[in-house]
Amino acid sequence: MRRDPRDLVRYSASERLNHWVVGISFILLALSGLALFHPAFFPLTMLFGGGTWTRILHPIFGVIMAVFFILMVLRFATHNLMKSADWEWLGRVKEMMDGNDESMPEQGKYNGGQKLLFWLLVLSMLILIPTGIVLWRAYFAFPVEMVRIAAVLHAATAVVMICVIFVHVYAAIWVKGTIRAMWYGTVTRAWARQHHRRWYEEATKP
Amino acid sequence: MATLDITARSATTTASPGVRQHLEVAKLIDISKCIGCKACQVACMEWNDLRDQVGHNTGTYQNPPDLDGATWTLMRFYEVEPEQNRLEWLIRKDGCMHCADPGCLAACPAPGAIVQYSNGIVDFNEDHCIGCGYCITGCPFDIPRLSKKDHKAYKCTLCSDRVSVGLEPACVKTCPTGAITFGSKDDMKAHAADRITDLNSRGYTNAALYDPPGVGGTHVMYVLQHGDQPEIYGLPKDPAISAMVELWKGIAKPLGIAAMAFVGLAGLFHYVTKGPNEVSKKIEEEEEAKP
């Protein structure tokens, strides 16, 4: 649906679906993972039908997320290659955070911060998927020394990933007019021109 | 049953009910006296009413080949040469060591699934077990096993049910040579000292008590003829909770929570102090004005 015929399409329906599957499985993974990470969060197991169900479901959510995350990476990787303008943008991120973003370097579909976040998420998943398999005792039996290392890496990386996702979600809330791109795929021209000028110019080229 | 004498409880951050203090107990296994008859293994099955699968002969007397959800103690047979050309057939009764500093309990994420009583027994409460197997990851002795039947973790209870009513563990009661004894930890250490003196006089100059300090001592101890080489009995030389497990279950937890709380709050405070990043009115009007 286009609320306004002049709106710009940022995400196709299948890209949005892909993002939602990853997002939902991430939330389920974070909640069930935190439940087993610290006793303070153990009551979260009640959301999944108890401790045993949490233990059973967590790795299954993990498989779903892994598959759809890889799919999403294949779709978006080329848009997220770091260019020199991105590093410049990151060097001046303080101005952006102060809300003075008018003079920030021109950005394409994604800015330096979004691209960095993308690669941090890829790196996190590259650690979380194999270590998660090592910890999955229901189906795998790895040497105990390996399981111990995997447990530390899995927990530490998950903490980093949760923090990175906090930043991702907050950025979407903070920059008004962004979240609709996740819902119905379009953004206003003014939004695009302010935040992603180069992408705006490409998308509005007659 | 006994719930007022708990010194430690898994995944619990407050004090456990522990007003009742019991004498610290220990089981002493004197390997020099063991004849490998497996009566202890049978007594364990009998008392705990467990029947493991009838397995296959793997070429040694060791059967079943490994500990299991239904085999909580196992005679392990080792043919070794502690000195050149001197073959020895070492037989060790394997099972939970009941560490004073239990790695399983440290690693367990389920509140109360693993408890340590004031008498030193480390016990699993399978009704709280979620079957994750973290206890196996935490154990320096490779003892707990996930049952194939119900996917819960099991191990030797040191017959906590018998000990709580003043009986010795089933394996101790049945041992025909007196190789397994049970009593207060102090008495067992004294008994071990006598045994070591005797073994020394018989030429086993390195005979020693295995009560590894790296795990705070254990409540199952061994008298080893070759105390300088616990590895030949399949025992770790200096067991301790792995540094990885300490990291995972120690500093990572508060640090992880602090990091997540910091980032979450930083976002909220940023919004409150800087306000939302709105599309500028000017750009909006310019875009509206375009044909």
Please give the Cα distance from B255 to B273 (Å, whole number): 26
* Digitized pLDDT (tens) for each residue of chain A, 206 residues in all: 556 888 999 999 999 999 999 999 999 999 999 999 999 999 999 999 999 999 999 999 999 999 999 999 999 999 999 999 999 999 999 999 988 877 888 889 999 999 999 999 999 999 999 999 999 999 999 999 999 999 999 999 999 999 999 999 999 999 999 999 999 999 999 999 999 999 999 999 87
Q: If you count them, how many residues does chain B have?
A: 291
CA distance A104 to A92: 7
Tell whether A137 lies on the interface with B, counting CB pairs under 8 A: yes
Which residues from B are below 8 Å from A166, CB to CB? 260, 263-264, 267
pLDDT attached to residue B230? 96
Q: What chain A residue is nearest to B145 in terms of C-alpha separation?
A: A137
Output the pLDDT for position A113.
95
On the question of pLDDT at B137 being above 50, the answer is yes
Q: Is B6 strand, coil or helix?
A: strand
- CA dist B137 and A82 (Å) reads 40
Verify whether the Cβ–Cβ distance B257 to A98 is below 8 Å.
no
pLDDT at B1: 47
Q: How far is CA A33 from CA A37, A39, A153, B257, in A?
A: 6, 11, 13, 13
Where do the domains of chain B lie, and which CATH numbers do they carry?
6-246 (3.30.70.20), 251-289 (no CATH)
Reference A48, options A27, A63, A19; nearest CA is A27
**Chain A residues whose beta carbon lies within 8 Å of the beta carbon of residue B11:** 39, 42
Instruction: Record the pTM.
Output: 0.93
Domains of chain A: 8-80+98-204 (1.20.950.20)
**pLDDT for residue B275:** 92
Number of A to B CB contacts under 8 A, please give it: 128
User: For residues B160 and B143, what is the distance between their CA atoms, to the nearest angstrom?
Assistant: 17
Tokens representing B226 are 């070759």
Confidence at residue B249, expressed as pLDDT on a 0 to 100 scale: 93
pLDDT at A3: 66
Q: Across the interface, which of A99, A102, A166 has its CB nearest the CB of B274?
A: A99
pLDDT tens-place string over residues B139-173: 999 999 999 999 999 999 999 999 999 999 999 99
Identify the band that residue B97 occupies on the pLDDT scale cut at 50, 70 and 90.
very high
Q: What is the pLDDT of residues B232-285, one digit of tens each?
A: 999 999 999 999 999 999 999 999 999 999 999 999 999 999 999 999 899 999
Chain A residues with beta carbon closer than 8 angstroms to that of B276:
174-176
Beta-bridged to residue B74, according to DSSP, are B94
